With several copies, the nearest count.
Chain A
Amino acid sequence: MSNDTLKIINAEKAKTYIAQKKREDGRDFLDHRPIDVKVNVINSADGSAWVKIGNTEIIAGIKFGISTPYPDSPNQGSMVFNLEVTNIASPDVETGPPSIEAMEFGRIADRVIRSAEFMDFDKLCVVPGEKVLTVFVDCYAINADGNLIDAAQFAALSAILNCKMPKLDENNNIIYKEYTDQLLPVNKKNLPLSFTFYKVDGQLLLDATDGEEYAANARFTLGICNDVVVAYHKGGDSGTFTIDEINTMMDIASSKYNEIKKKLL
């Protein structure tokens, strides 16, 4: 049985459950699957986290680098975010360069992390105008069963929150695997969290599985800090939302914020 046929069957199954006001795994439409977070799991990384949301697994790892600042922000460090969704995460993913969808997922997760002035880039300056720290956050999908945007965002956030600053030598080069006792400078009050909804036959679903995503025709991701919206990103095919639906998703995400925050801090 080809992967495509399997996807269509899984999508049909998801639709049948939803028509009966249920989900295949028994969850309510707006519940997450169990979320499991392990930090500092990768010895070679400067910070790392392994996040599971149901069967979806993503590993985020951090590496520091020294670079020249951008001319328009000479005193600010930078972050490079990268999400890799390869064949290892799912046999459905084709071998070759990253798909446009994986790129979009990565960009959305990236923006949510970047928002709300969560990371203090001024504190990543080493020599003003000359040398700054770059924080490389690389996420790898290990098993893909839906909700990759949120899983990547959670994993990146967990890795960032548990990452110590590197020691520098007299020439301001990084001494690998040596750290100060300072953590990466972030503003925990403004912890931005990603909430992605899919719409299947008019029903909004939080934390959709792969089958549910395939059945959906619209996607919406919110970045939320408590009662503040930090990002909106409509995606996922040609389905539409009403203004009321947007406001509903905003309220739901806001109400779930503290529950998720607790799992990551």
Chain B
Amino acid sequence: MTTRLDNRKVDELRKIKIELGVSKNAEGSCYLEWGKNIVIATVNGPKPVFPRHLADPQKAVVDYKYRMACFSVSERKSPVPGKRDKEISLVSGNALESAIMVEQFPNTLIDVNVLILSADAGTRVAALTAASLAAADAGLPMRGMISAVAAGRANEQLVLDLTKDEEDTADAVDMACAFLMPQKEIVLLQMDGFVKKEDCSKILENALIGAEKIYDIQKKALLEKYPLEGEIQL
């Protein structure tokens, strides 16, 4: 097994640090360090929807806002959300919605905010992982956790959880995956690259292995803050 740029094993995650309930004003919140990524997520709601015609009589609407701080990337990003931010917000909101029992709260809104403070590849999966924890921290009834991770290829080997440096290698491919756990259902999947079918399947398998690790870390974080409930719910 060859060595990765940061000496991790091919199936090794970067260091992850989670703190729940960091935000005093939010009903649920999560601070997440994932390698050099830093993410804060807050969840509020369910609450009334304005304007009313945006409400859904069948379920709560999840308004997921993914934003990158201007200083989170190498060259300063404009503070105005771009197409990428809007697209990630849309698909991530759908992914998170599949984990929340939104049908219990018709005609309401669940506000989800994720701010990327520092970015080093994999921010959308880090954001979803944090947002899912913040939703649980907010006490929302959930049918599982969203455990998200990127898998891919770098320097001629299939690897888990790529860094920005790995993404910049010549043959790099990055597949952002989010699973509803423990059900192992895919709720987000995005990749652009050039990958043989067999490798594509293998990367997806790797992602699931990674997601299972993430799920364990998430459960541990929740059990620390909510010893009893955690045991039952997860």
Contacts and interface: CB of A to CB of B under 8 A. Distances in A.
Contact of B71 (A42, A142, A223): A42
B231 interface: no
Nearest to B31: A142
A231 B70 contact: no
Interface in B29-76: 36, 38, 40, 42, 44, 47-48, 63, 65, 67, 69-76
Nearest to A192: B194
Interface string A100-124: 1101100100010011110000000
Nearest to A235: B91
B161 interface: no
B79 A82 contact: yes
Given A107-B83, A111-B192, A138-B70, A243 B63 contact: no
A158 B190 CA distance: 25
Contacts of B194: 115-117, 190, 225, 228-230
A42 B191 CA distance: 28
Contact of B113 (A86, A116, A190, A246): A86
Nearest to B96: A238
Contact of A55 (B24, B36, B119, B183): B24
A61 B83 contact: no
A87 interface: yes
A79 interface: no
Interface stretch (B3-11, B201-209, B215-223): B201-209
Interface centre among B47, B120, B191 (most CB of A within 10 A): B191
Nearest to B116: A44
A120 to B, nearest CB: 15
Interface stretch (A15-23, A25-33, A247-255): A247-255
Interface size class of A (residues with CB under 8 A): 35 or more
Given A91-B111, A138-B69, A251-B197, A234 B186 contact: yes
B186 A243 contact: yes
A238 B94 contact: yes
Nearest to A88: B113
B95 interface: yes
B186 A63 contact: no
Interface size class of B (residues with CB under 8 A): 35 or more
Contact of B189 (A55, A111, A116, A241): A241
A12 to B, nearest CB: 14
Contacts of A115: 192-194
B87 interface: yes
A74 interface: no
B20 to A, nearest CB: 14
B215 to A, nearest CB: 15
B94 A236 contact: yes
A254 B70 CA distance: 34
A246 B204 contact: yes
Given A95-B65, A235-B91, A251-B197, A241 B70 contact: no
B162 to A, nearest CB: 16
Closest 8 pairs between A and B when the two form their complex, measured CB to CB: A61-B71, A240-B185, A63-B76, A45-B71, A88-B113, A138-B70, A234-B189, A238-B98
26 contacts: A2-B47, A43-B38, A44-B119, A59-B69, A61-B70, A61-B117, A64-B76, A87-B111, A88-B26, A91-B25, A91-B27, A91-B47, A136-B71, A138-B70, A228-B197, A229-B194, A231-B193, A232-B175, A235-B90, A237-B94, A238-B98, A240-B98, A243-B186, A246-B189, A250-B197, A254-B197
Given A62-B71, A228-B196, 8 more contacts: A44-B73, A61-B72, A88-B113, A107-B83, A140-B117, A225-B194, A229-B195, A233-B189
